[in-house]
Structure 1
């Protein structure tokens, strides 16, 4: 499990870097609804990433102890996505819906990019 926490640490660092860029975009451009949607969606995406890592750790602990295995929390992540869409549709003057959806997908994009970068560094 240590490699899971190392991966999460790297991915969390990338997510915070993207969030900082989005906040700067929100503060210094005229596309405030788009960048606020990206901030909102990416924040929830980071929460989903943390939730997924936590559930994977619990899953690994349960398997190693021979206990019954519960789900990996897909319903919680879907509910977070639904909440993001509902909030962005409720406040369209502040949040751009497409930006929120792109922000929700950010953690999966970061996971893929981190995997490719890390696998290239290992094979050198």
Structure 2
């Protein structure tokens, strides 16, 4: 997954770009939903890890909406940001758009919320420091 940080990106938001090549598509020639979830989960993981500055795991993925297909040959532009930070968990909102590289057109394609938990070396929830806020 390639990371991008455009200048118009809000603070605390992390951008990721992934091309939709044939091995990521379904029989309709568009991004397979499972691949979209994988990419969104990776974006949530990196964003939560940066926020927590420690190991994190995914506890839940909820409210995932597939808004539009992402055709083969286009890029999936993901934006992820921490929208809630608790004792040891945080919510990362991930939104993605289909980006037609030839025209520059962006179409909202996916969005979802990921609950991520900071963990210690034994895999148990680990408190976030009070300075770690969205």
Structure ranking higher in strand proportion: 2
TM over 0.5: no
What is the TM-score normalised by the length of structure 1? Answer: 0.30
Answer with 1 or 2: which has the greater Rg.
Answer: 1
What is the TM-score normalised by the length of structure 2? Answer: 0.28
